[in-house]
């Protein structure tokens, strides 16, 4: 007769207390968080090299005359950049212009605007907010003819010439461009003509000598 295997009854399992979850780490409030420089991976003692350009607030108005994309061929390929021609003025006889280059269009405009404010020119306006006499500005192969006009005529001029005359404060003038049509050459020729303007007394003295 086979011996019956007696299986011992399992002992009553002791009631185990339910496992309690580990307390969650409380997040520090925003003001107590570590600054960016103290985070892991950040190099201590080194600041971000990117230059932040502050917006200049003054009485000068700026106008973008021309934007061009240029490239430089190097061993690794072509490097694309942008040039911006900007004119600034306060409508009170002061103006400036500059041509700058950068990798992005907004950076090129900001650089040109800052450089234009550093080198300003001034002209003397006569009655009717016009120039004192006829003048021809020359630069390279570009000639710009400027002629005073009576009040109410307005500015009869093309894009680059109109930009520099409006921002300088001239309201009545006639102009004509001969030769080169490059915007920077037109701007420089117009500036050369405005720079050669003489006052009424100076012109009277010159004509009396003749």
Q: What is the CATH number of the domain that holds 76?
A: 3.30.230.10
16 lies in a domain?
A: no
Q: Is residue 31 part of a domain?
A: no
Residue 3: inside a domain, yes or no? no
Return the structure tokens found at 210.
């003749």
What pTM does this model have?
0.68
Task: Provide the domain limits for residue 127.
Answer: 61-199
Among candidate residues 63, 88, 65, 62, the one with its CA nearest the CA of residue 181? 65
Q: Give the angle 191-192-196 at the CA atoms, nearest 5°.
A: 115
- Average pLDDT, rounded, for the chain: 80
Contact 206, 136 (CB under 8 A): no
DSSP 3-state of 79: strand
Residue 78 lies in a domain: yes
pLDDT at position 24:
55
Which of 3-7, 142-146, 182-186 has the least mean pLDDT?
3-7
Let me know if residue 116 belongs to a domain.
yes
Confidence of residue 184 (pLDDT cuts 50, 70, 90): very high
Percent of the chain exceeding pLDDT 90 equals: 55
CA distance 113 to 58: 12
Structural domains of the chain, count = 1
> Would 26 be classed as within a structural domain?
no
């Amino acid at each position: 007769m086979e011996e019956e295997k007696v299986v011992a009854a399992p002992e009553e399992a002791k009631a185990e207390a339910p496992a309690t979850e580990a307390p969650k780490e409380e997040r520090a409030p925003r003001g107590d968080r570590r600054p960016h420089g103290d985070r892991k991976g950040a190099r201590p003692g080194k600041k971000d090299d990117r230059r932040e350009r502050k917006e200049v607030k003054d009485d000068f108005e700026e106008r973008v005359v021309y934007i061009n994309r240029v490239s430089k061929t190097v061993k690794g390929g072509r490097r694309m950049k942008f040039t911006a021609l900007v004119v600034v003025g306060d409508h009170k006889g002061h103006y400036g212009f500059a041509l700058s280059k950068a990798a992005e269009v907004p950076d090129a405009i900001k650089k040109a605007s800052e450089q234009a404010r550093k080198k300003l020119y001034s002209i003397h306006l006569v009655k009717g907010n016009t120039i004192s006499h006829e003048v021809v500005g020359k630069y390279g192969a570009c000639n710009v003819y400027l002629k005073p006009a009576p009040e109410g005529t307005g500015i009869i001029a093309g894009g680059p010439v109109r930009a520099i005359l409006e921002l300088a404060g001239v309201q009545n003038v006639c102009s004509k461009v001969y030769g080169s049509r490059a915007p920077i050459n037109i701007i420089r020729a117009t500036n050369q003509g405005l720079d050669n303007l003489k006052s009424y007394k100076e012109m009277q003295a010159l004509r009396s000598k003749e």
